[in-house]
Each structure stands twice: as structure tokens, then as C-alpha cells.
Amino acid sequence: MSREMMSAIEQISREKGIDQAKIISAVETAMETAAQKRYPNEGNIQATIDTETGEVEIVSFKAVVEEVLDPMVEIGLEEALDADPDAQIGDEVGFLLEMDGFGRIAAQAAKQVIFQQVRAAEWEAIYGEYLGREGHLVTGMILGQERRNYIVELGRTEALLPYSEQIPRETYRRGDRVRALLLEVRTTPRGPQLILSRNHPTFVQKLFEMEVPEIAEGIVTIQAIARDAGDRTKMAVWSKERGVDPVGACVGMKGSRVQAVVRELHGEKIDIIAWTEDPQRFIAEALSPAEIDRVGITEEEGSAIVIVRDDQLSLAIGKKGQNVRLASRLTGWNLDILSENEYREDAFEGKDGELEAALLDHARSKAQGLTDAEALFSGFPERLEDDGEAATPEAGAADSEASTEENAPEKAHADAEKQDVAQAEAGATSQEGTPEAKG
């Protein structure tokens, strides 16, 4: 009987993945509970199992005292000497209890305790196993759907794919295989609960780590990622080695690597851009596939104004503002996009000055050698005034006025000389043309 019990313990340990010591402890607890039912007048009962032989011993321990106040846990010295001739005041004396004929109630209580203890140990093992896997990919099989939430089998346990963590318009049937991100491991009265996600940005990141060896090895790193699950993802990558193209590594030969990720996401578009420390260039890259003319930033406010050609405005903003929204999330800047016509209009005169100031401040901080404002703004479209003539930036206008005032005397003298010469030439021409002059 004892060997059969040890065999059963070993089998449960293998099937449930629970340490044998925990199962033995659960059985000992069950035996103590059953003994309490059989011997209600015994207070301190302990059960031990010999792991070699499987023998179970149930012992009632009592303290040796001069005067017994609680017979359940105390015993007099004379009675203790009958059980142990060496007993003294203050010692504990153990009495072996017979467990033959446990009885149906005691056996049922022991069975219930064993079941509870084994289940608690199983939950603890599952929690410990999956707690360290949070943020990693797991693969399971769809068992069914409950209130639009999918139940996924993960081997020894089940996980939940909530409706809020699913990719929109994505459906599964019972028996389908699904890959997801282990988002969270929760503890509940019913045991650990595993929460999965397929719409989290980290899900895309882990898919690329699986498909791109350079990312798995740490050569290429994903610096930022922004996602509208089911529609589009923008990802900024950077390479630690100059000889490795981060974008090319993620795209793969003929797009094989990125296409593998797209297939897993059921056709979701993915924009991969090169990360850079220059915020102007990074913002311009983040707004791809739109072509950006120039970017002005205000670091104090964390905002940027972006100028694009008129035919690129809708592409830069994207459908329902998706492109600029994802670019803002990716870069961490608040983006305001203007077309060239909007930039030129008087209604945007305030933004025109704000843009020029932002661009000038940023350019001066990044380009130490450039001090000429006209050089900094040489690539800018000129804002048209009401009369149709181009207006120069304020810095250029100030320089022009100062130059005119300094050279005013010289200019007046030169104009007078030109006027005298012109009059003399005109007089000579009129004299040569008259008959009197010819005679």
C-alpha cells in the first residue's frame, strides 16, 4: 500500500509538473486532517511519510508539565514516564496513533485536502513558469469563444485573448493555431490567469526579433514603435555597426522577412525607417511615404511644424489622420502639417514667423558655422504680399534697410552724375539732328 502511494505521488508529479516534496507535504496535511477527525481529543498531531518506504506515521505530541491544564496538548510527568522513561518537565512526548479503519468521513476529508493542496501546488508551478515569460510570444490552440473573448490552450493551462487585445476584424475557429504576446499573468481565486495580446506594439517587435537575426543578436535595435492594430505600424530601427543597414536587415532579401511578419498580422502595413538623433530628420522620415520639404521644431513645447508640397499634404496626414498620428507617437513630437499654399497665406502669418523662428534657433544650435540668416532660409518658399512681390525674412529686411541708410550719400552723388551725362548725350543728339547744325 505504501509503495503504491509513492508511485501515485511520482505519477502526479510527472503529469502536473509539481515537485514531489510539495505533493508529499499535501498528503501529510491530509493525513493530519483525517487524524483530527478520528482523534478529536488530540491537539498537536503531525504526520510524516518516509520517502524511501512510503510508510506513514501519525504522532500526537504533548508537553510534559507538572499540572495539566489542557489535556489535548499537555500530559503529566507520571503518565509521560510510562511512555518515555527519560521524560522530564518541559519535554515533548509523542504518542503513535493507529490509523486502521480510517472511516468514510476521514478518508473523504483526506481526499479533499489532497486535491486542494495538489491544485494549489499546480497553480503555483504554472504561475512561476509563465511569470518569467511575460512579454514573450506563446503559441496555442483556440478552444472556444466566450463573450467575444477567445480561450486559448497553452499546454498545461489555458489563457485568455480578450476582445480588447484582438486585432480588429480578425476571427478564429475552434482548433485554429494562434500566436500571441503573453501580456500579463494575474493571480485570481481560481488560480493564475494568463492574458494574451495581438494588438500590442510589442507583439510586432517580438515578431521581428524572431524573423531578423540581427535584432535577436542585438546588432539592430528597435528604438521606437507605434501601431494602429490591423491597419499600419511604424517602426524606427538603428544599427550598432556601420556596415549593417538596419532597414535592409528588417526588410530582408526581396522583402522576405517583413512579409513573414505581414502575413502573421494578416496584411497590416509596416513602415520601417532609420532612427536618427536629429529630430528634424527623424520627423521627416517618420512621415513617410510623404515627401517633406522642411521641419521646424520648438524644443520647449515639444512641437514641430512641417511644410509639405500641396500634392503631398493628404499623404502626410494619412487616412483619418493616421499617418501623422502614428508619426507623432513614434517621434514623441506634436506635429502640425502645413502645405506650401497654407504657409504662404496671410492667415498663417503668425505660424510663418513661428516656423522661421523655430527653424532659425534649431539651425543655429546645430550648425555653429552658419550665421547668415539668408543662408539658413535659402531653401524656404518666400511668403507673397498682397502686391504679388516677394517679401524677405525680417532679418534680411533689417540688413537691407541698414545698408540703404549707410550708402545714401554715395548713391545720391552717383545718381546725379548719371543724370548729367544723360542730359548731355540727349542735347548732342538733338543738335546733330537739326538742319541748322548740319549747315
Full DSSP string of 333-377? -EEEEEEHHHHHSGGGHHHHHHHHHHHHHHHHHH-TT---HHHHT
| SS3 at position 297 | strand
User: Prior bond to 71 cis, omega within 30?
Assistant: no
Among residues 312, 304, 296, 298, which one has the least CA distance to residue 376?
296
Residue-level pLDDT at 354: 58
pLDDT tens figures, 354-365: 556 665 555 555
Looking at the chain, the whole-number percentage of residues with pLDDT higher than 70 is 74
Q: Measured at the alpha carbon of residue 275, what is the angle toward residues 271 and 280, in degrees to the nearest 5?
A: 100
Decide: 190 and 158 in contact? Cβ < 8 Å.
no
Domains of the chain: 2-127 (3.30.1480.10), 134-199 (2.40.50.140), 215-275 (3.30.300.20), 282-391 (3.30.300.20)
Fill in the amino acid letter for 376: L
Q: What is the mean pLDDT of the chain?
A: 77
Higher pLDDT, 46 or 173: 173
Mean pLDDT of 315-342: 91
Residue-level pLDDT at 383: 40
pLDDT band at 139 (very low <50, low <70, confident <90, very high): very high
Mean pLDDT of 69-76: 81
Residue-level pLDDT at 82: 78
Q: Among 103-107, 266-270, 288-292, which is the least confidently predicted range? A: 103-107
Q: Is the pLDDT of residue 166 over 90?
A: yes
Mean pLDDT of 69-87: 80
Torsion of CA 258, 154, 194, 208, to 10 degrees: -10
Q: Is the pLDDT of residue 393 over 50?
A: no
pLDDT band at 118 (very low <50, low <70, confident <90, very high): confident
Residue-level pLDDT at 115: 77
pLDDT tens figures, 184-236: 998 888 888 999 999 999 999 999 999 999 999 999 999 999 999 999 999 99
pLDDT band at 99 (very low <50, low <70, confident <90, very high): low
Residue-level pLDDT at 426: 42
pLDDT band at 414 (very low <50, low <70, confident <90, very high): very low
